[in-house]
Chains A and B, each alone.
Chain A
Amino acid sequence: GAGVSQTPSNKVTEKGKYVELRCDPISGHTALYWYRQSLGQGPEFLIYFQGTGAADDSGLPNDRFFAVRPEGSVSTLKIQRTERGDSAVYLCASSLGVWETQYFGPGTRLLVL
């Protein structure tokens, strides 16, 4: 079946701009996660959704980052006033339930100039 999809695959923006990154989880998966991966590092947790609510956003680096999942399926990660340090690969994962195996999408490569 279809896996997790993320759009766009690449995003180039200028410092100070606003960006939105989209994640389509596997159908029927109630849990959704966002991670960020810097060059040469493993992915780091940002936020977790169970259904429509953000159950844990402790990994978001600051208040410029925000994520929503209004209907319990698609999620959008929003970054305001982007900075060069936000450049990274943003990964989305979903799982059947919170204690289940996470399946990752291909990621969105964000470059802030």
Chain B
Amino acid sequence: DAKTTQPPSMDCAEGRAANLPCNHSTISGNEYVYWYRQIHSQGPQYIIHGLKNNETNEMASLIITEDRKSSTLILPHATLRDTAVYYCIPGSGTYKYIFGTGTRLKVLA
């Protein structure tokens, strides 16, 4: 399984873009990268996933480097409700998500 490295915490001003990095240097060629977030006292919420190409949905954008060793989740206009722990999860199609400890994002008013 690919190992991931995420900064333990980040702050972002409300209304600004939040850029959350993830290093997954051991990811293999067929492994997707999934991003989830967990708001306090709630279950993990799916955000986005990608394989090689950049992806965008209504919640966020995902930028994956060409070598696929790292990715960045972008919340374009962070709000206070985006305060959460964000997890980057490389998955090989395995059903065993390995969450790690994630990045605690705090959006500041």
Contacts and interface: CB of A to CB of B under 8 A. Distances in A.
Contacts of B101: 40-42
Contacts of B46: 101-104
Contacts of B98: 42, 45
Nearest to A9: B41
Contacts of A40: 101
B99 A101 contact: no
Given A42-B87, A43-B44, A91-B43, A98 B97 contact: no
B106 interface: no
Interface of A: 4, 31, 33, 35, 40-45, 48, 56, 59, 91, 93, 95, 98-99, 101-107
Given A43-B44, A45-B98, A104-B36, 8 more contacts: A40-B101, A42-B100, A45-B97, A48-B96, A91-B44, A103-B46, A104-B46, A106-B42
